[in-house]
Structure formats: structure tokens, C-alpha cells
């Protein structure tokens, strides 16, 4: 099909043809393969030139229809070099996983389905996959049979849904229907969190009207773990927010010490386990998650540790009635039956079939494969910590999971080294403040990272450091 025909002919005819002759999709596949073939040769962060070229997207709103091949070509030519290489083995920024091939492929298929995973009536298939995946997740994390799951876009939404459920239940116990009456003049809801709680927790507390300033902060130890003795007296009107995987150090709150006592008070315990909850799947590491089953709700990502493509988070909750009531929607056209309607467990209504990639990942890896994946990330992290120490750097945290906090002898050197590492194109890490020190955060979260990637990256650190002097 040539450009002229698309523009002057019937749009619909053009699109029928595109669906039928598949050339557009072949083109996309060709670009995707070209992208993936170049991963090894590319630096983790786009070059200055690639970023500057993104200016080509600054265009006026098109009035007439474009040529689909040219649109794809533009995306590949200017978009592909402008990406940050999350799928490569030497990207250690934030906490960002790679992509499992089976999940990526399943997602492609799912995109052709274009399912609305909201209701059983809109997709019996997605309802089935969610039902099965929910059961598998309970087993993987060792959670009770009454735990329900909602498949959301990420941990932030999962935290939001969990805290909404907690807020609903706590107020309902005091005779207050939050859905009907709102928060004005409502009885108070206490929120207790560790001083190292993730920004997603603060965001959710704000969005839910609970107020950041009302949070009762609990002191943490030198690894960022909540100190059990510092927790205030809890009661049924309290939400206690714990953490499996500190976003900087990777540390875990001492759940067993905290949860047993907290559960007796009737407090709602939420565990934010965005990347760390997966430690529960490893024999070697599940000492870190002992006691998580005593919580009331959990938030976890598929797109970090499990290496599922983006847009994969899970909210899990023991009190399904609270979760459903908190997220409730009404409409006479909505059809509910005995089969699972996935939207009951999320803050969204319409939703893509995101469970597909998660289902495919678990089906492919199995519990043993997930354990191997998690253990592998940990092993590479231990390797990184040991090699970077040999290279003369300081490691400021206990490397219990997949995070390493690296520092030089002073902040200035650390900042300068980080800048040079980032500019080296060898690997990419971000920085953070860890108590009173600047640190380089290294997060090993991609299945593609090999022992050689680690050694090469440590060499880049050593090189960078030598250039600071
Ligand atoms: C990443 C992260 C979040 C936020 O998750 P998103 O998937 O980015 O929404 C929340 N808590 C912790 C501990 C995290 O690491």
C-alpha cells in the first residue's frame, strides 16, 4: 500500500487491508528483532545524539491520516535508539526488571486479542487466567486460601487499593460507611509506617485523604528496617505499613517479630513487597519473608523481580469484602455472576489482559524456575558487592537481596564517580541519599545479567574512580 492511497482512500479499507496482509505487523516484528539484536552492542542509556533526535516528535497535531509504515519507521528510527536499555544486562538503575521472552510473546498475542479484562462477560478467558494465577500466587507466597488478588498496573496502584480496603474496613468497624459519607467528619484512621517507607506509600496515603502529616513514623535501623520496639501501641483503627525490600538497601522489616504482636491488636497490616516479596519463593532467602502471611494485604510487582514486561502489579488481600467494597462501582448494565469479575479487585474498570504475561511467566518458570531467577539476582548481587569491595569501594548495606549501596570515602568522590560511571556507557546506576551519605544504588533485577556483566561493570566503576583524581 502506498502513502497516497492511505491518505485519499477510505481509512477503513486501508485498515482492513493492514489486518489482512499483515505487512505492517511484519514490519513491526522486523524492527523489534533489529532492536533486540542490537542490545549487546548498545550502551544502557541513550546517547546525547539519540536524545536530541527525539525532537523529531515535536510535531503539530496531524489533520489527515498518515502512512502507517512511515509511522512505524519513525518510531524505530528515532524511538528505538532513544530507549533506556532496561532489557540489557548492565542496567542497574532504580529497581527495574527485564523481560522474559515467554511473557513478551504472550503479550503480543494478548494485544491481538484486545480483551477488556474487567468482567467475565467481557472476557471469560481473562477471568479464567486470573482465577488460576490468583491461586498460584497464594502458593508461591505461602498465603492463606482466602487471599484474593487484583491485577493492576504496578505496586503504587496495589498499595492504593490495599490502603483503600484498610480505610474502608477500619471506618466500617466504627459504623462509618466511607463510600456513602466520605471522609469529612469521619472517625480517625491511624497510619503507622517505617521512616524508610517507599514514596508509593506516601502517595497513596495522600490520595486517600489520610494525610501524610498524620503518619506516625517508626525509626529504622542502619539497614532501613523498622525497629519493632519503636512501634507505637496499635489498635483496630490503625494501618501498619511494613516493607519487604527497602528500595535502597533491599532490607526487609522483621515481619515475624512485628506481625504476631500487631495482628493481635486487630491493626490492619499491609506489606509493600514490590520487588522483595519474591524472596518468599526461594528456600535460601525465604527467611526474609517469614511471617508475611500474618498481614492483611500485600502489594507486589511482576515487572520488577519476576521480569514481566511493564504494567504488571498485584494487590493481594485477605479481606476480600473490604477490597471489593472499597473499590466498588455500580451500574445497572454491569453483569455479575459466579465467575470471577477481575475489576472488582482493582481501582480500574476497563483493563487490558495484563494477567496473560504473568500467567505465562509462572507457567514457564514454575516455582523452581522462579526460585532460580530470584537466587540468580541475589548471587549476582553478592558477586557485585564482593568485587566492588575488592576494587576499593565501600558497600554500605548488608546485601540480603538484590540491592547494593556503593560509596567512596566522601560524598564528592561518590557523586563524581557516579557521574563518570553513567557517562562511561558501560553500565547505568542511579544515586541516592543513604542516611548521611551519598551512595550509588546498584539494583540487579534483570535475568539477562551475567557474571561477566558484573565484572565488566565493576571495572567501569574502578575506571571511573581512577578518573576522579
Ligand atoms: C517500585 C516500588 C514501588 C512502586 O512500584 P511501581 O510498580 O513503580 O508502581 C513501591 N514500593 C517499593 C518498595 C518499590 O520498590
What per-residue confidence (pLDDT) applies to 40? Answer: 84
Residue 251 Cα to ligand 1 middle (Å): 14
Distance of CA 397 to the CA centre of its chain: 22
Beta-carbon contacts of residue 226 (< 8 Å; ≥ 6 apart): 194, 218, 219, 220, 242, 243, 253, 254, 258
Q: Which helix (H) or strand (E) holds 452?
A: helix 451-468
Maximum C-alpha span of the chain: 73
Cα–Cα distance for residue pair 324/396, rounded to 1 Å: 42
| CB-ligand 1 contact for 95 (6 Å cutoff) | yes
Instruction: State yes or no: pLDDT of 2 exceeds 60.
Output: no
pLDDT classification of 8: cutoffs 50, 70, 90: low
Residue 147 Cα to ligand 1 middle (Å): 21
State the cell numbers at 233: 501501641
pLDDT classification of 9: cutoffs 50, 70, 90: low
Cα–Cα distance for residue pair 365/369, rounded to 1 Å: 4
288-303: per-residue pLDDT in tens?
A: 999 999 999 999 999 9
Grid look-up 494465577 returns 133
Q: Are 257 and 228 in contact (CB under 8 A)?
A: yes
| pLDDT, greater one: 5 or 311 | 311
Q: Which helix (H) or strand (E) holds 6?
A: helix 3-8
Beta-carbon contacts of residue 68 (< 8 Å; ≥ 6 apart): 6, 14, 18, 24
* Angle at the Cα of 68 from the Cα atoms of 75 and 23, rounded to 5 degrees: 100
34-48: per-residue pLDDT in tens?
A: 999 998 889 999 999
What per-residue confidence (pLDDT) applies to 321? Answer: 94
- Indicate the domain borders of the chain: 3-85, 104-362
Q: Concatenated DSSP letters for 17-39?
A: HHHHH-HHHHHHHHHHHHHHHTT
Q: Are 11 and 68 in contact (CB under 8 A)?
A: no
248-283: per-residue pLDDT in tens?
A: 999 999 999 999 999 999 999 999 999 999 999 999
Q: Are 227 and 219 in contact (CB under 8 A)?
A: yes
| CB-ligand 1 contact for 276 (6 Å cutoff) | no
Atom 2 of ligand 1, residue of closest alpha carbon = 274
The mean predicted confidence, pLDDT, of the chain is: 96
Cα–Cα distance for residue pair 83/51, rounded to 1 Å: 9
What per-residue confidence (pLDDT) applies to 1? Answer: 45
Exposure letters 132-162 (e unless 16+ CB within 10 A, then b):
ebbebbbebbebeeebbbbbbbbbbbbbbbb
What per-residue confidence (pLDDT) applies to 387? Answer: 98
| CB-ligand 1 contact for 348 (6 Å cutoff) | no
Residue 198 Cα to ligand 1 middle (Å): 7
How does DSSP classify residue 346? S
Cα–Cα distance for residue pair 159/155, rounded to 1 Å: 6
Q: At what angle do helices 101-113 and 355-390 cross, to 10 degrees?
A: 150
The reported pTM is 0.96
User: At residue 202, what are phi and psi to the nearest 5 degrees?
Assistant: -60, -45
Q: Which of 108, 101, 148 has the alpha carbon at shortest distance from 352?
A: 108
Best residue for ligand 1 mutational test, from 158, 159, 160, 200 (most atoms within 8 Å of Cβ): 200
Best residue for ligand 1 mutational test, from 96, 198, 299, 315 (most atoms within 8 Å of Cβ): 198
315-363: per-residue pLDDT in tens?
A: 999 999 999 999 987 777 777 788 999 999 999 999 999 999 999 999 9
Q: What percent helix, strand, coil does the chain show, rounded to 5? A: 50, 15, 40
Distance of CA 186 to the CA centre of its chain: 33
> Hey, what long-range contacts does 277-280 have (CB within 8 A, 24 or more apart)?
277/141, 277/244, 277/245, 278/305, 278/306, 278/370, 278/374, 279/244, 279/245, 279/252, 279/374, 279/401, 280/140, 280/141, 280/142
User: At residue 433, what are phi and psi to the nearest 5 degrees?
Assistant: -105, 125
Grid look-up 480500574 returns 348
CATH topology of domain 104-362: 3.40.640
- In the three-class reduction of DSSP (H, G, I as helix; E, B as strand; rest coil), residue 196 is classed as coil
Q: Concatenated DSSP letters for 369-388?
A: HHHHHHHHHHHHHHHHHHHH
46-86: per-residue pLDDT in tens?
A: 999 999 999 999 999 999 999 999 999 999 999 999 999 99
Q: Which residues pair with 437 in a beta bridge?
A: 434
Atom 5 of ligand 1, residue of closest alpha carbon = 155
Best residue for ligand 1 mutational test, from 153, 163, 225, 272 (most atoms within 8 Å of Cβ): 272
Cα–Cα distance for residue pair 295/314, rounded to 1 Å: 15
| CB-ligand 1 contact for 198 (6 Å cutoff) | yes
- Nearest-atom number in ligand 1 for the CA of 301 is 7
Q: Concatenated DSSP letters for 204-258?
A: HHHHTTS-GGGEEEE-B-TTS-B-GGGPPPP-TTEEEEEEBS-TTT--B--HHHH
- In the three-class reduction of DSSP (H, G, I as helix; E, B as strand; rest coil), residue 316 is classed as strand
Amino acid at each position: 500500500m502506498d502513502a497516497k492511497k492511505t491518505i485519499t482512500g477510505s481509512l477503513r479499507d486501508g485498515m482492513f487491508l493492514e489486518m489482512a496482509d499483515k505487512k505492517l505487523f511484519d514490519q513491526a516484528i522486523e524492527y523489534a528483532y533489529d532492536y533486540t539484536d542490537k542490545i549487546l552492542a548498545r550502551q544502557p542509556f541513550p546517547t546525547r545524539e539519540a536524545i536530541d533526535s527525539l525532537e523529531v516528535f515535536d510535531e503539530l497535531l496531524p489533520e489527515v491520516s498518515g502512512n502507517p509504515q512511515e509511522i512505524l519507521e519513525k518510531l524505530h528510527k528515532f524511538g528505538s535508539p532513544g530507549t533506556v536499555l532496561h532489557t540489557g544486562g548492565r542496567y542497574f538503575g532504580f529497581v527495574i526488571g527485564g523481560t522474559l521472552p515467554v511473557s513478551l510473546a504472550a503479550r503480543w498475542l494478548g494485544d491481538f486479542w484486545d480483551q477488556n479484562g474487567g468482567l467475565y462477560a467481557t472476557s471469560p478467558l481473562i477471568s479464567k487466567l486470573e482465577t488460576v494465577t490468583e491461586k498460584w500466587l497464594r502458593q508461591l507466597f505461602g498465603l492463606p486460601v482466602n487471599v484474593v488478588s487484583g491485577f493492576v498496573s504496578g505496586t503504587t496502584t496495589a498499595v492504593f487499593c490495599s490502603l483503600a480496603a484498610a480505610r474502608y474496613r477500619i471506618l466500617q468497624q466504627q459504623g462509618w460507611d466511607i463510600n456513602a459519607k466520605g471522609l469529612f467528619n469521619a472517625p480517625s484512621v491511624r497510619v503507622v509506617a517505617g521512616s524508610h517507607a517507599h514514596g508509593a506509600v506516601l502517595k497513596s496515603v495522600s490520595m486517600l485523604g489520610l494525610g501524610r502529616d498524620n503518619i506516625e513514623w517508626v525509626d529504622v535501623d542502619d539497614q532501613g528496617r523498622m525497629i519493632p520496639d519503636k512501634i507505637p501501641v496499635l489498635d483496630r483503627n490503625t494501618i501498619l505499613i511494613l516493607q519487604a525490600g527497602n528500595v535502597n538497601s533491599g532490607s526487609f522489616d522483621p515481619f515475624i517479630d512485628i506481625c504476631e504482636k500487631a495482628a493481635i491488636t486487630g491493626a490492619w497490616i499491609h506489606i509493600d513487597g514490590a520487588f522483595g516479596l519474591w524472596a518468599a519463593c526461594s528456600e535460601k532467602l525465604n527467611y526474609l519473608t517469614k511471617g508475611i502471611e500474618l498481614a492483611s494485604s500485600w502489594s507486589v510487582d511482576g515487572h520488577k523481580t519476576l521480569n514481566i514486561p511493564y504494567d504488571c502489579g498485584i494487590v493481594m488481600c485477605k479481606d476480600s469484602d473490604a477490597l471489593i467494597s472499597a473499590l466498588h462501582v455500580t451500574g445497572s448494565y454491569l453483569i455479575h455472576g459466579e465467575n470471577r469479575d477481575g475489576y472488582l479487585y482493582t481501582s480500574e474498570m476497563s483493563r487490558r489482559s495484563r494477567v496473560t504475561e504473568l500467567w505465562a511467566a509462572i507457567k514457564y518458570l514454575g516455582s523452581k524456575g522462579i526460585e532460580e531467577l530470584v537466587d540468580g539476582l541475589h548471587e549476582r548481587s553478592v558477586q557485585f558487592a564482593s568485587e566492588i569491595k575488592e576494587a576499593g569501594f565501600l558497600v554500605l548495606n548488608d546485601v540480603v537481596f538484590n540491592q547494593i549501596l556503593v560509596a567512596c570515602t566522601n560524598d564528592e568522590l561518590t557523586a563524581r564517580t557516579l557521574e563518570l560511571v553513567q557517562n562511561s556507557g558501560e553500565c547505568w546506576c542511579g544515586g541516592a541519599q543513604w542516611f548521611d551519605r551519598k551512595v550509588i544504588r546498584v539494583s540487579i533485577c534483570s535475568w539477562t545479567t551475567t557474571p561477566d556483566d558484573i565484572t565488566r561493570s565493576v571495572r567501569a566503576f574502578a575506571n571511573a574512580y581512577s578518573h576522579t583524581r
